Structure 1
Amino acid sequence: MQKITQYDGLYGEASDEASERRSNAEYLYSELLETRSRTFDWIIQPHIHARLFQVFFIETGQFEFQEATRKRQLTGPCLLLIPPTALHGFNYNSDVQGRILTLSGALVDSLFPGGSPVASMLGSLQCIRTFQDPYSGKRVSGLIEAIDGELFDDQPEKRLMLHICLQQLFLVCYRLWQHNDEVGSQENNLSLQYFRKFQQRIRQVGTTQSVAQLADDLAITPVHLNRICRVIANKSASQLVQEHLLDEARKYLTYTTYSISEIAYLLHFEYPNYFARFFRKHTGLSPTEFRESHQPRQ
C-alpha cells in the first residue's frame, strides 16, 4: 500500500519551504496548473493539506481525480473546491490547462463565517461540472485570473481587494453549486440543506456535542434530524457522527504521522484515552494496532 503524504505547504514542498503556509493566516497563492503538474510528470499522488484550502479550475483537458473513496474521470471545464484534510490526487493528460488557488483555511473562515450558507458548501469537497450563463466557465476563469493579477501586483488596499475578489469567486461557486444541486421538491432541498449543515457541524465539533445539541444548532428537533438522516443516508444521526469520526481516524492513522494524542485532538476528543476507547469499540483494534496493521509492506 502506498503511503499518502500530508503537506503543510504546497504539493512537493519540503517542510522548511512550507513555514509561511503554516504560519500565515492570510496566505494566498496562485499558479498555473501546468507548472507544478509538469514537474511531476502530470501525476499528483494522493495527499492532504492540513491547513490549506484549494481551488482547482481545469479549463481544458482530461484527468483522473482521486478522492478518499473513489476515482473519477473528468474533463474541463471543471471546478474543484478542496477543503483542508480532504484527500485528493490527480493523473492529468499532458494537454490539461487551468489554474490553482491555494489559501489558508483561516482566510476562508474569515471570508465566510460559520453561519454563512457559503461556509456550508466550503466545508466539504465540491466538484462543479456544469456552467451556464451568467456564470460560464469563461467568467469563472476571469475571476480567478483577476485574483492572480491582484495578488502579484502592488496596488493600494491590496488586501481588501483580494478579499472582495475571493468573496465574489466563492459566491459564484455557491450559485453554481446551488444550481447543480437543484433536485426534487423544495422540501427535499431543505432537507438536503439541513443534512449538509449537519455534516459540516460534525466536522467542526466532532464529539464535543450530542446529537441533541447538533440538532439545536440547526434549529430543528433531534427527531427531525434523525428523520432527515434516515431519508437521505438510511442511517441515524448518531451513526453518521460515528462513521465520520471513524473515517477521519482511519485516514489520519493510515496516511499521516500524527501521534494518537494529536489525532484525538484533531477529532475533538477531550482525552486521548476517550478516543482510543471509541476506536476499539467500533473496530476491535486500538489505534496503535490499526496503524501497525496498515503500514505499507517493505
Structure 2
Amino acid sequence: MSHNRITHYDGLYGESNTRPATDYIFSESLETRSPTFDWIVKPHIHTRLYQLFFLKTGKVVFQDTNGSCDLDSPCLLCIPPSALHGLVYTPDTTGHILTIADSLIDAIFPSSSPALLTLSRLHRIEKQEDEQAFHEALTLFQKIDQEIFGDEPERQPMIRAYLAQLWIRLYRLIKNRNDVITTGQSPALAHFRHFQKLIKEARFPKSIPDFADDLNISAVHLNRICQSVVGKSALDLIQEHQIDEAKKYLRFTSYSISEIAFLLNFEYPNYFAKLFRKITGMSPKEFRESQ
C-alpha cells in the first residue's frame, strides 16, 4: 500500500536537492516559470521559505488545506513556510513572486514580533481593502527587486531594510482591515512550524521527547507529523539544522573541525564528520576547501 506525502521543497517549486542559503532572497515575474508547468502549481509546501505573490492581472484558483477558492487580481498572497498551497493560473495572468528564507526574516524581527507572528499565517490581501497601503506595499516590492538586480554598494543591508518595511506594511494592512481574510493551517502544520522554530532556538543536546513536551504532544505524534509533512523524522530535521550550523562555522570561522563538533555538542568528532558526509555528500574538510 502506497502513502502519498505532501510534496515539499527546500528551494523553489519544482527544484529538488536545493537548500537555499540563510540570506536567500529570489525575485521573478510570475510569467517566467509558470508556463513551464502549464500554469498549474500543484499543492506543496516550502519548508523554509516565505513567498509573497503579487497578482497583477488574470485569475487564479488557490488551493490550501481548506479547499480551493477563486482569486481576482489585483491581490497579494502572503504564504509562510510550511503552509500548503497550490495555484492554477489562467494563461493571461501576470504578476510577481518574492521568495525569502525564513532565517532572513527571523534575523530582522524578534520571535515575539506581532508582524512576524501575523505573517506566520497565510493571508490574502485585496487592493480594494486599502488602495494606498496596497500601493505602498507594491512600491516596496519594486524597491527590493531593484536592489536584488542592481549593483549599488551595501545592497544586503538595504534589502533587509526594505523587507522590514514591507513586513510591517503588510502587518498593518492585515491588522487594520475590518474583515480579515485568512486561511488557517492544519494543527499538524502549525505544530511542524513551531517545531522548526524550537530547533533554531534550542541549546543542544535536547531530546525528541523534550521537543514534544514543548509542543504538548507525544514524541510519537511529533515524528508522525514530521513524516507526514516532509517525509523525514524529527531527528533528521534536528541533524540537518546542526549541519547547517556547522556549515556556517566552516565557511566563516577558522575553528578546527573538532572544535566545531564540540561547539555543536557532538561528543565525538568522528561521528560529526560521518553525519556531515551523510547529509552533504562530502567531509567537513572537503566542504571548507570548496568554499
What's the TM-score once normalised by structure 2's chain length? 0.64
Residue in 1 that maps onto 2:88: 91
Q: Distance in 2 between matches of 1:249 and 1:131?
A: 41
Which of the residues 79, 82, 85 maps onto 2:79?
A: 82
Equivalent residue number for residue 60 of structure 1: 57
SS where residue 133 of structure 2 aligns?
Answer: coil
- Give the equivalent residue in structure 1 for 2:130: 132
Matched AA of 1:131: E
The correspondence for 2:97, drawn from 96, 100, 121, is 100
Percent identity of the aligned residues? 38
Deviations for 1:103-161, whole angstroms, at most 9, x for unmatched residues? Answer: 1110011111112111111222222225314313x332222111111101110111111
User: Per-residue CA shift, 1:190-243, capped at 9, x if unaligned?
Assistant: xxxxxxxx9999564563437xxxxxxxxxxxxxxxxxxxxxxxxxxxxxx659
Cα contact 2:223–2:233 (8 A) shared by 1: no
Name which of 5, 8, 13 aligns with 2:7: 5
Residue 253 of structure 1 corresponds to 227
Give, in whole Å, the separation in 2 of the partners of 1:73 and 1:256: 27
Contact 1:29/1:103, CA 8 A, preserved across alignment: yes
Distance 1:199 1:11, change over 3 A: closer
Q: SS where residue 152 of structure 2 aligns? A: coil
Using the TM superposition, give the Cα deviation of residue 181 of structure 1 relative to its aligned residue in structure 2, in angstroms: 5.0
Query: Taking structure 1 as reference, are residues 260 and 164 closer, same or farther at Cα in structure 2, changes over 3 Å only?
Result: closer
Matched, 1:174 2:174: no
RMSD of aligned C-alpha atoms?
Answer: 3.1
The unaligned stretches of length 5 or more in structure 2 are 181-189, 199-210, 241-291
Query: Quick one: structure 1 residues 101 and 254, their matched pair in 2 at CA, closer, same or farther if it must change by over 3 Å?
Result: same
Tell me, what secondary structure is at the counterpart of 2:137? helix
C-alpha spacing 1:201/1:33, structure 2 compared with 1 (3 Å): closer
Q: State the partner residue of 2:185.
A: none
Q: Displacement, 1:260?
A: 6.1
- When residues 176 and 14 of structure 1 are mapped into structure 2, their CA distance, relative to the original with a 3 A threshold, is same
- Per the TM alignment, residue 182 of structure 1 is displaced from its structure 2 partner at its CA by 6.1
Query: For residue 80 of structure 1, what is the amino acid of its counterpart?
Result: L
Report deviation, 1:180: 2.6
CA distance in 1, matches of 2:49, 2:213: 24
2: CA distance between counterparts of 1:70 and 1:251?
A: 20
Do the aligned partners of residues 164 and 254 (structure 1) sit closer, same or farther apart at CA in structure 2, a change above 3 Å counting? same
> Which of 155, 161, 166 matches 2:158?
161
Conserved in 2, the CA contact under 8 Å of 1:128 and 1:180?
no
1:209 maps to 214
Question: Equivalents in 2 of 1:14, 1:253: separation in Å?
Answer: 18
- Gaps in structure 1 of 5+ consecutive residues: 184-197, 211-240, 267-298
Q: Measured at CA, do residues 71 and 264 of structure 1 come closer, stay the same or move farther in structure 2, by a change above 3 Å? A: farther
Q: Tell whether the 8 Å contact from 1:120 to 1:200 is kept in structure 2 after alignment.
A: no
- Alpha-carbon distance in 1 for matches of 2:224, 2:88: 24
- Give the CA deviation at 1:26: 0.7
CA 13–258 in structure 1, closer or farther in 2 if over 3 Å, else same: same
Q: Name 1:262's counterpart in structure 2.
A: 236
Could you say what secondary structure the match of 2:88 adopts?
strand
**Corresponding letter in the other structure for 1:77:** P
Structure 1's 157 and 253: CA in aligned 2 closer, same or farther, altered over 3 A?
A: same
Call closer, same or farther: CA 1:181–1:207 in 2, change over 3 Å: farther
